[in-house]
């Protein structure tokens, strides 16, 4: 079994490492952080789409010759975990025209320190779709596990969910896999682990704050 079961890690090419070096840098300005994060997000979405099933499909080219190709099977939608996950919606829209988007709001309960569900909005037919679950950081896995469970409770099959994130911790991957072994995680990289405050290290800081605010 792989060190990170059911996890697809983007190839660590020179380009990808350079992109991560930019967004990890504490001195990178917000405009550059957004631009280069969006490039990584696009790569994640493309890899997610690579995992969807296809069927043979023949088309006729402009030269009059048939081409034995393929086409996607089934409908998809994105589901972002508010708010940082919303940063990944545009990358999905750029790859899939008119894609439906659902949202889940999960926040930490200050009294229990556990994730708490506050808001859910899905397409009515989400149970029939393949779902790309969007959240930039997989740290402890608490929010992602709750979000995935909400999808299952709404009829989505576990094997039809793909979880996309820019960075993951080994702890988060382990916790998520133990709960949902059939859900594929697609990540840009796996960092060293979590610090005492449960932040990913070396990480890149608070993704939502850097993307939207700073």
Task: State the catalytic residues.
Answer: 108, 112, 206, 209
39-62 per-residue burial string, b: 16 or more CB within 10 A, e: under 16: ebbbbbbebbbeeeeeeeeeeeee
Closest CA to 135 of 95, 100, 179, 172: 172
Query: Cα–Cα distance between 132 and 86 in angstroms, integer?
Result: 12
**List of residues 6+ apart from 162 with CB closer than 8 A:** 48, 51, 130, 131, 132, 133, 183, 184, 186
Please list the residues that pair with 130 across neighbouring strands: 76
């Amino acid at each position: 079994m792989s060190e990170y079961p059911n996890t697809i890690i983007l190839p660590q090419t020179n380009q990808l490492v350079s992109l991560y070096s930019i967004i990890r840098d504490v001195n990178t300005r917000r405009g550059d952080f957004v631009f280069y994060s969006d490039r990584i997000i696009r790569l994640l979405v493309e890899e997610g789409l690579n995992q969807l099933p296809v069927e043979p499909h023949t088309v006729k080219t402009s030269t009059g010759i048939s081409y034995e190709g393929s086409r996607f099977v089934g409908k998809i939608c994105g589901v972002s975990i508010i708010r940082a996950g919303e940063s990944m919606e545009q990358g999905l829209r750029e790859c899939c025209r008119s894609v439906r988007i659902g949202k889940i709001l999960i926040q930490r309960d200050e009294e229990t320190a556990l994730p708490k569900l506050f808001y859910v909005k899905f397409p009515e037919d989400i149970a029939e779709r393949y779902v790309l679950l969007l959240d930039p950081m997989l740290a402890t896995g608490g929010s992602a596990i709750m979000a995935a469970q909400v999808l299952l409770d709404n009829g989505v099959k576990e094997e039809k969910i793909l979880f996309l994130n820019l960075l993951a911790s080994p702890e988060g991957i382990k916790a998520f896999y133990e709960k949902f072994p059939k859900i594929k995680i697609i990540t840009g990289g796996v960092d060293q682990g979590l610090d005492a405050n449960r932040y990913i290290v070396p990480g890149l800081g608070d993704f939502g704050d850097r993307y939207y605010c700073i």
